[in-house]
Amino acid sequence: MPVNPADSPVFGTLYGSDAMRAVFDDSAYLRRMLEVEAALARVQSRLGIIPTAAAERITEAAASGPLDATTLAASVRNVGYPVVGVVKQLSERAGEAGGWTHWGATTQDIMDTALVLMVRDGLRLIGNELASIVRALAQQADAHRDTVMAGRTHLQQALPITFGFKCAVWAQPLITHLVRLTEIAARVEQVEFAGAAGTLASLGEDGLAVMEGLAGELGLAAPPAPWHAVRDSFAEVVCFLGLVTGSLAKIATDVALLAQSEIDELTEPYVEGRGASSTMPQKRNPIASEYILAAARVVAALVPVMLGAMASDHERATGPWQAELLALPQAFVLTHGALQHARNIAEGMVVDAVRMRANLVQGGGLIVAEAVMMGLAPHLGRGEAHHAVAHAASRAREERITLAAALASEPKVTAHLDEAAINRLIDPANYLGSASAFIDRVLVAARAAGVA
């Protein structure tokens, strides 16, 4: 049984996804290392550095199935790195051609490039989920652009908004993350091939040609210089995952608050038994939101690990580099799990527009006090209008009457606003400002980011 529940067959679906674990698990890492070794051999054969027949045999050997895990584990425990054991088994499989494996490479070349290939796959999964969530939230925003609800600041009712507007606000940073993802991918998807100390000295004048050829063979970019000890790209990726989960945590927080019994305006998609209590039959806990919040906290805690790993000593780090493998795969797994929870919420959330309206008016119209103040301000000036409406609002609270009733007994108000004017001002649907226009702007941004 794994120690980390994100990798557990029992708890794993709550914290992560099988798809992302398959990108970063041991077998995937070893498979990618073999892929890099085979690609290196093919490139070097085209450049006349190693025999073509040797490259063909190495490629066949690399694709011939998984390595012997028991033997490899013993090598890793002794050496401290997997590549020595990987190369040994690959060379044995390749027979006489095995003498040409790993030509001019160093351990970190193979490990870093393999990790880049996994990150590329991981970012693709992240992008797919992000796009699906944006698409769902855009649809919810459009569908609920006229569903009026209470906007809340400091956990108190503030002004009327629409639920569509709220969904648009949720979607906005996710759209930005899609743009960020494209930018980050261009920076992180770079080959690492530089030899023992970064100079490719063992390949003489062929070093740069091999590096560029290997990049092309794997569909990666060739960096201007080696990055064995320059780890900003991987650190940026995990920072990005922290931003993604942070944005999801905002959505999860709102969903959990709106699902409170006293508010009850929104619930997560209902499935029999989902979010159930072992003792309270009535409970439908916002379980997806809870696991999004948990993932966001842990991914945020992994960000400093990656930032700390940037402090690499000289040409090969003594410890910081090794710390990356403890943080980067887990950040991807947790983020993808959080995204899947968020997608389920975005696509299947249950919106109670009737309850939203009931909560909106339960304060007796106090939520539109600003609307009355702004309607009165041209006659009294903003400061005096604020004072008059604040006085009426205080009376409404103390006497437990509606704001309209309190306003009707304020001479400063009735001198300028008749009953019909007051009624127009206290209708929440008349005080939504640019909410619908903001929804349209977010929908345009979604389309510009490639989300239909």
Torsion of CA 399, 405, 406, 410, to 10 degrees: -140
> Is 64 among the catalytic positions?
no
The string of DSSP letters for 17-58 reads -HHHHHHHSHHHHHHHHHHHHHHHHHHHHHTTSS-HHHHHHH
Q: How many residues are listed for the chain in this entry?
A: 452
Closest by CA to 107, choosing from 236, 195, 3, 209, is: 195
- 72 φ/ψ angles, rounded to the nearest 5 degrees: -65, -40
The separation between CA 306 and the C-alpha centre of its own chain, rounded to angstroms, equals 17
Based on the residue annotation, tell me whether 91 is a catalytic residue of this protein. Answer: no
* Residues 36 and 218 sit within 8 Å (Cβ to Cβ): yes
* C-beta separation of 94 from 5 below 8 A: no
List Cβ neighbours of 49 (8 Å cut-off, separation of 6 or more): 103, 104, 203, 206, 210
φ, ψ of residue 160 in degrees (nearest 5): -70, 140
Please report, as a single letter, which amino acid is at residue 216. G
Radius of gyration of the chain (CA): 30
Q: How many other C-beta atoms can be found within 10 angstroms of the C-beta atom of residue 189?
A: 18
* DSSP three-state, residue 146: coil
Chain centroid, CA 334 distance in Å: 9
**Which residue in the list 316, 355, 357, 424 is annotated as catalytic?**
316
Closest-CA residue to 295 (of 252, 338, 239, 240) = 338
Q: Which of 277, 394, 409, 434 is catalytic?
A: 277
Dist CA 387 CA 393 (whole Å): 10
Alpha carbons 213 and 39: distance in angstroms, whole number: 9
Does residue 317 contact residue 109 with C-beta atoms inside 8 Å? Answer: no
For 153, the enclosing helix (H) or strand (E) is: strand 148-153
Question: DSSP class of residue 105?
Answer: -
- Residue 293 structure tokens: 């919040």
Dist. CA 340–CA 276, nearest whole Å: 20
Q: Is the dihedral of CA 384, 388, 394, 397 positive or negative?
A: negative
Q: Do 365 and 151 meet the contact criterion of CB atoms below 8 Å apart?
A: no
Provide the annotated active-site residues: 277, 316
